[in-house]
Chains A and B, each alone.
Chain A
Amino acid sequence: MKITMTVNGVERTDEVEPRTLLAHHLREALGLTGTNIGCDTSSCGACTIHVDGQSVKSCTMLAVQADGCAVTTIEGLADGDTLHPMQRCFQQNHGLQCGYCTPGMVMAAVSLLDENPNPTEREVRLGLEGNLCRCTGYHNIVQSVLACAAETSGAAS
């Protein structure tokens, strides 16, 4: 089946099998391997991307369901060489250890601040409940998100 979606600002038309998961389509057909697959059971959040601006787990969505949608992956966040504020805050606050959960964590965090630009620490922790860090590096992840909120609130889109 032929599907067309805008991926990181670029329109892409591809032929996919209906059973192709969006995560596999992004990684294998479009080469966007920044989207990691962790648990493959919609628990861990490593595969989190944005579909029409909202965080979703791309291992639990068919590529055909995203036909006509705007998809953003971790590769689409930075503006050229300038990191997205959330990426920079993760870097500055050491919001990662092994890095495997990081793309999904950053995408979930950006979606969280879109919906709640000024979260409390508890709201950040609840807002990231769908993302697991097996290094258990949650402390600095939460600090990264709070730092980004402090930097961007008021200017958040």
Chain B
Amino acid sequence: MIPAAFDYVRAESADHAIALLAEHGDEAKLLAGGHSLLPLMKLRLASPTVLVDVGRLDDLRFIRDAGDHIAIGALTRHRDLETSELLSSAAPLLHHAAGHVGDPQVRHRGTIGGSLAHADPASDLPAVVLALGGTLVVQGPGGQREIPIGEFYTGFLEADLQPDELLTEIRIPKLDTLGWSFQKFNRRAQDWAIVGVAAVRAEGHHGVGLVNMGSTPLHAGGVVEALHAGATAAQAAERANEGTEPQTDNNATVEYREHLARVLVRRALEESGLS
């Protein structure tokens, strides 16, 4: 399978990438690791006429302690996340989940920014960043803006990003973590999750993200509300499907996904230390 023809431009800096996006508008797509975009282009489900390659912007590849949060450059690869000692102590849920994205070859190329911006409800990392209450930093011609991830996803494969904006940084609040869990249910090791759950329990914070339970990555608001009201893990898990719209596909029916969501949320809450 060969993608449709396109022009290729390698961005030399974030500003250069934004200028190129502004020049080409809707016709252009950003290429980071390419592990979401290129498969779509090979299937001709996407046919951008210009690819702006941001894969060499090494100044957007970092994981650093920024006081009250961990700052992660958008071009940071999954392999960097899963081997980061800083993340291992400051955001163990993200550190662990990054090691379960795809397979080693995918993790060598794929980036956190690409994964979050692609807005695929079946991706692991959006649900993880939703559970952690992360903030996305987006840069455009008019400057920079910060978007709480809970407001970022607007539809299937759609996020609050203008055609001339570039996701540059992900901020993960430093939580006083008491427990966490990542549940990924699939049939083969490297597959997308049929349903996945990311949960974190911290001082003053409950977060639960759902993978593949609707057209966007979802925060399990009903579960979190129940937990703040003092529910047990089993009671809270009964609210796992509030606000979800799972689809039937070759792997699972709607009913099966709803069942999985309840079971996996309960397991995630129990593994994160709730009874």
Interface residues of A (CB under 8 A from B): 1, 17-21, 24, 40-43, 45, 48, 54-57, 60-62, 64-65, 67, 108, 111-112, 115, 126-127, 129-131
Contacts and interface: CB of A to CB of B under 8 A. Distances in A.
21 contacts: A1-B8, A18-B6, A18-B7, A21-B42, A42-B35, A42-B39, A45-B105, A56-B105, A56-B108, A57-B105, A61-B34, A65-B53, A67-B10, A111-B104, A115-B104, A129-B103, A129-B189, A129-B190, A130-B102, A130-B103, A130-B106
Contact of A126 (B2, B34, B189): B189
Given A61-B38, A65-B34, A42 B106 contact: yes
A36 B51 CA distance: 26
B174 interface: no
B66 interface: no
Interface of B: 1-8, 10, 31, 34-35, 38-39, 41-42, 51, 53, 55, 79, 102-106, 108-109, 189-190
Contacts of A48: 105
A45 B104 CA distance: 10
Nearest to A55: B105
Contact of A60 (B8, B34, B53): B34
A112 B105 CA distance: 10
Contacts, number: 80
Nearest to A43: B190
B104 A17 contact: no
Nearest to A20: B2
Nearest to A40: B1
Contacts of A21: 2, 42
B38 A62 contact: yes
Contacts of A115: 104
Given A41-B39, A42-B39, A56-B109, A19 B104 contact: no
Contact of B35 (A20, A55, A60): A60
A61 B104 contact: no
Contacts of B79: 54
Contacts of A112: 104
Contacts of B1: 40-41
A43 B31 CA distance: 20
A65 B189 CA distance: 27
A54 B5 contact: no
Contacts of A62: 8, 31, 34, 38
A33 B93 CA distance: 41
Contacts of B6: 18-19
Given A40-B1, A42-B35, A64 B8 contact: yes
Nearest to B9: A18
